[in-house]
Structure 1
Amino acid sequence: MITFSIGDFVCLQNHPYFNKNQNIKIAANAEMTPPIMIVGEILNKDEYNPLNGRQSEIQLRCYYYSTKDGKYIDKWIKAEQIKKLESDYTYLDIEKLINIENFDLEFLKESLLNKLVCIKSVDFELNKKKIFIDSSDGIRTNKENNHLEFLPPVMTVIDIVKNKEEKKYSSTKESFVEKDLSKYMFKCKWYNPKTSSYSEELIPSVILGIVKNQTSDLEIISSGINENGYIIIDLKNDVELEDSSRLVGNTIIKPTELIFNHYYYKLSAFDYMKQRTASYPLGDIRKNVSLDDFTQKAIIFGQIYPRYKTIFRPITANIFTENEYYLIKYRDKSNKITTRIIKLIYKEPYTDQESNSDQIFLVSNCLLRKGHIRHFTVSQILESTEILNGIEIFENATS
């Protein structure tokens, strides 16, 4: 039997999410999808029905925010009518509010008044996706949108009070909690676009998380962007270099702009390993960002070939050294041009059958292809940039 605690994430049985899998996109009429809720109070009376001998049903008081109505809604629901969900991640500070029952009211007011908070279900609702068919250009294609019907607001704590209700224990069973709830209630204020004004609400502390202050990180990142800096960051998953025991655990990114994602910031940056622009939550880049994390271009990238200053220096096999990393622009047999980072394993001479000319392969691990070995003809390389201390950057920098 599933047990519930205050602060748990729950939803009705007909919700498409289940347990740890929330990467499910919603088709058809997404508006019929119920909200993700948080348990704010539990009634589990130590009583039995005299007619059938069964214990009284467990009742859960569940909270969610309705964007359409512009207000918080709480409903009492029987435990067997809902299912529990687990959160994969959050950028809220949840830990700070877990044990607040151990602190007195004055201390909490001194430390938490004017802090920003949000109910803990925000990540579920922020990442909920709906798909639909679009045929505006004459071709039926699936498109994707965010489904934000229950996205809760970021709020300011303007007061903290004790809950008028109290936790109750059974008079017959030792340590059996019949009524569980938050000891403290947070009075929160937020801008309500539904009313074009400000709203206030008393909210149980157990359903809230604190929005982390990222001001110092933002100042550092903004400075780095203005100075055209680069950052070396951890990969989520290491890449194993084929035919090698070496692992690539880092990549080079060039930050371009900051993005605010409802309650936390993301950094938009160009990833040199994947050769595309992506966004990275600041909390995922580093636990502590400092100005030393930014590196200038001249520290990472070395000589560029072909070179045209004073003396023309073409691209030849001699400019490549085994076990070094290079950023190359390459034209394949189909005349498709791609840019990628490679680690040279060795050089291999061969004769091109079509032109009957002598050529040289660069047999290399290609980071664009997840470390797999690829062969690159030197004469097809349009541009090559040496990456200084590549092994230290990609394999050792932050691991």
Structure 2
Amino acid sequence: MSLNIGDVVFYKTHPYTGNNNNIRIAMYADYTAPILVVFKSLEDREFDVTTGKKVGMMTECVYYNTNEGKFCTRKIHSSELISSRESVVKERVDLLKEINLEIDLKDLKKEKNIKSIEELIKSKYLHTKVTLRSVDLELHKCKVGREKDNGDLVETNHLEFLPPVMTVIDFRYCDDKSKFCNKTGKPLVEFKCKWYNSKLKTFSEEFLNTELLYLIDFPLHLLEVYATQIDSNSYNLIKLKKSILLEDSANKKVKYTLGQSEAIVHKHFYYDLLTSDLIRGKKVSVLINDEIKEVKDSVLWGNIFPDYKNKRYFNGINDYDFKENEYYYISYTDKAKRFSKRVVNIRDLFFVIENREALYENLGWADDEISGNDSDIKKFISGTNSFFINSMTRENVSISKEKNGEEISVSRSFINNKNVVVLLEANCLLKGGLIRHFRLDGISEVRMINNGKSLLEEGEIIIDKKE
């Protein structure tokens, strides 16, 4: 295996593989070797001179030992190492930049010479923050232990070899006589890095080759913007890592969620925003890496129930006008008295007759001698217990046996009868977009999400003219 200076590698006993670092470490995690960065290639040959077989190369690798508070180097043969395909977790790839002085000079259209290199370092890198290339994988490394009461494993970070965030305070050439590599022509420069050493309780300094380091490029100006939203009533439009496919909805996907900001959390070299996630119904950490997409409270919410401000609550939830294919935020208590809040996409509104005999008795339809209109309704609803609700007014409700089938109008009192159960069929985002049915009498609060399709499916904020 051919390795280059700056490559991130694992020792063969490490639980990570070359293509998969999303692995949790159980049992005795202290046996886990550090993630290494190739520091030197100690041999030019990769093949045995007598057999012609590929034998690899001897390398020198570097890592940071937090227990000793220092950088350590070890000679290891390449046959004992596994090369990592990725050295940065995907979502944070824009925050860690490779340091390549040659490319920087080309971008600036400057000639490669000692003077240009020194000017570049002083203008771009001096007093910036850097860290060892293994930082993100070490930060991502987790161990799992004893199970919780509900069977979930307790997960904690395994930070024994996490390299520090450092400041560049000076630089030098690796060799005063050989300032450029005789094979590649790259400038051989080391940065003098300074960091607070938590083990020694003082500041430490170390010269490190630029090819071993990442430049930390976090947009700090965003923190002030996000800080203004803490504990406000507005929401942030946040892209989901994995889209939610709505069941039986022509491949419709929810790609965004809404979160209320609660706190800014520092995580070694980057910042997360702790949010209360509307769709997932729990607190979620989201990487701060983009301009904020604020959705004000007045823009987000449409019709609500109960509407105390406009005194629209006297007739109960049955009077609320649900619209098909719209998104709603509901507070719901099921038959087992379990309370939850969830975002749903309405598919249908229908009702079920639970006790036909009791219904007829309440409506005075038990005898055959009933009025012509009531007789027509009684005849229409015979033979099945489930009906679609197509439209509603304050006095009447239009119903049908089939979706968009033959309709008949019944009074509101019919729907409000205790022997009739009105149900919502909806795609529930809390349940991964699966179809669920909700008893209308179990919904204690509902809010319509204005322009929900644009917000949650397309990530577009639409502000009505009246706003």
The TM-score range, normalised by the shorter chain, is 0.7 to 0.9
The Cα of 1:201 is off from its aligned counterpart by 0.4
What is the distance in 1 between the residues matched to 2:42 and 2:76?
10
Where does residue 393 of structure 1 map in the other structure? 455
Alpha carbons of 1:118 and 1:84: their partners in 2 closer, same or farther (altered >3 Å)?
same
In 1, Cα distance between the equivalents of 2:151 and 2:260? 36
SS where residue 316 of structure 1 aligns? helix
Partner of 2:224: 219
User: Equivalents in 1 of 2:162, 2:245: separation in Å?
Assistant: 39
Q: Which of 116, 126, 132 is matched with 1:119 structurally?
A: 132
Q: Does residue 182 of structure 2 align to residue 133 of structure 1?
A: no
Matches of 1:126 and 1:377, distance apart in 2: 46
Cα displacement (A) at 1:319: 2.1
For residues 268 and 161 of structure 2, the distance between their equivalents in structure 1, rounded to whole angstroms, comes to 13
Q: Does the 8 Å contact 1:117/1:157 carry over to 2?
A: yes
Deviations 1:217-246 (A, max 9, x none): 000000122543211121122222222222
> Matched residues in 1 for 2:449 and 2:54: separation?
70
Where does residue 400 of structure 2 map in the other structure? none
Q: Is the 8 A contact 1:6 1:181 kept in 2?
A: no
Equivalent residue letter for 1:215? L
Q: State the 1:85 CA deviation.
A: 1.5
For 1:1-399, what aligned pairs fall within 5 Å after superposition? 2-46=1-45, 58-87=57-86, 88-89=89-90, 90-91=92-93, 93-100=95-102, 103=105, 104-133=117-146, 142-164=153-175, 166-169=180-183, 183-225=188-230, 227-245=232-250, 246-283=252-289, 286=290, 289-290=291-292, 293-309=293-309, 311-313=311-313, 314-316=316-318, 318-353=320-355, 357-398=419-460
SS at match of 1:5: coil
- AA in 2 matched with 1:296: K
SS at match of 1:218: helix
Aligned mates of 2:19, 2:49 — CA distance in 1: 39
1:93 and 1:267 map into 2 onto residues whose CA distance is 16
* In structure 2, C-alpha distance between the alignment counterparts of 1:55 and 1:344, rounded to whole Å: 63
Q: Distance in 2 between matches of 1:108 and 1:280?
A: 33
Letter of the 2:181 partner, please give it. Answer: K
Asked if 2 retains the 8 angstrom alpha-carbon contact of 1:105 and 1:161, the reply is no
**Aligned partners of 2:158, 2:435: CA distance in 1, in Å?**
41
Query: 21-30 or 337-346, which moves further after superposition?
Result: 21-30
Asked whether the 8 Å contact 1:240–1:247 carries over to 2, the reply is: yes
Give the distance between the partners of 2:431 and 2:421, measured in 1 at CA. 23
Rounded to whole Å, the distance in 1 between the matches of 2:198 and 2:104 is 36
Residues in 2 aligned to 1:307 and 1:301: alpha-carbon distance in whole angstroms: 12
Aligned 8 A contact 2:97 2:216 in 1: no
| Residues 324, 260 of structure 1: alpha-carbon distance in 2 compared, 3 angstrom cutoff | same
After superposition, what is the alpha-carbon deviation per residue over 1:52-105, rounded to whole angstroms, capped at 9, x for unaligned?
677885122211100011011112211112111122434564445135476322
How far apart are the structure 2 equivalents of 1:145 and 1:323? 41
CA distance in 1, matches of 2:69, 2:271: 24
Q: Which amino acid aligns with 1:105?
A: E
The 3 A distance-change label for structure 1 pair 212 and 248 is same
Change (3 A) 1:54 1:321: closer
Indicate the structure with greater strand content: 1
- Corresponding residue SS for 2:136: helix
For 2:285 and 2:52, locate their aligned partners in 1 and report how far apart those are by CA, in whole Å. Answer: 57
In structure 2, the gaps of 5 or more residues are 106-116, 360-418, 462-467
Compared CA separation, residues 317 and 365, structure 1 to 2 (3 A) = farther
Distance 1:392 1:78 in 2: 55
Counterpart residue identity of residue 235, structure 1 = L
Deviation at 1:25, TM superposition (A): 2.1
Per-residue CA distance 1:16-72 (angstroms, 9 max, x = gap): 111121222223322221100111222342598776677885122211100011011
Structure 1 140/273 Cα, relative in aligned 2: closer, same or farther at 3 Å? Answer: closer
Does structure 1 conserve the Cα–Cα contact (< 8 Å) formed by 2:46 and 2:57? Answer: no
In structure 2, C-alpha distance between the alignment counterparts of 1:375 and 1:127, rounded to whole Å: 39
Q: Where does structure 1 lack aligned partners over 5 or more consecutive residues?
A: 170-176
Counterparts in 2 of 1:276 and 1:264: CA distance versus 1, 3 Å: same
User: How has the CA–CA distance of structure 1 residues 367 and 210 changed in structure 2, closer, same or farther, with 3 Å as cutoff?
Assistant: same
Does the aligned pair in 1 maintain the 2:131–2:164 contact within 8 Å?
yes
Q: Counterpart of 1:351 in structure 2: which amino acid?
A: I
| Pairs aligned (count) | 381
Percentage identity across paired residues of the two chains: 31
Aligned residues: CA RMSD: 2.8
Q: 1:200 to 1:13 in 2, by over 3 A?
A: same
Superimposed CA distance per residue, residues 112-163 of structure 1 (whole angstroms, 9 cap, x where no aligned partner):
100011111111111212233379x9x9985332111101110000112222
Amino acid paired to 1:98 = N
Q: Deviations over 1:339-359 (max 9, x none)?
A: 111111121121125986112
- Seen in structure 2, the aligned counterparts of structure 1 residues 92 and 120 have a Cα distance that, compared at 3 Å, is farther
CA distance in 2, matches of 1:47, 1:294: 56
Q: Which moved more, 1:153-162 or 1:209-218?
A: 209-218
Q: SS of the residue aligned with 1:185?
A: strand
Could you report, residue by residue, the CA deviation over 1:283-340 in whole angstroms, capped at 9, with x for unpaired residues?
2xx3xx15xx222211101232123346352211542122221111111121211111
| Structure-2 change in CA distance of 1:102 and 1:268 (3 Å) | closer
TM-score by length of 1: 0.87
Paired AA for residue 336 in structure 1: R
Shift of 1:182: 6.7
Conserved 8 A contact 1:331-1:338: yes
- Residues in 2 aligned to 1:267 and 1:97: alpha-carbon distance in whole angstroms: 28
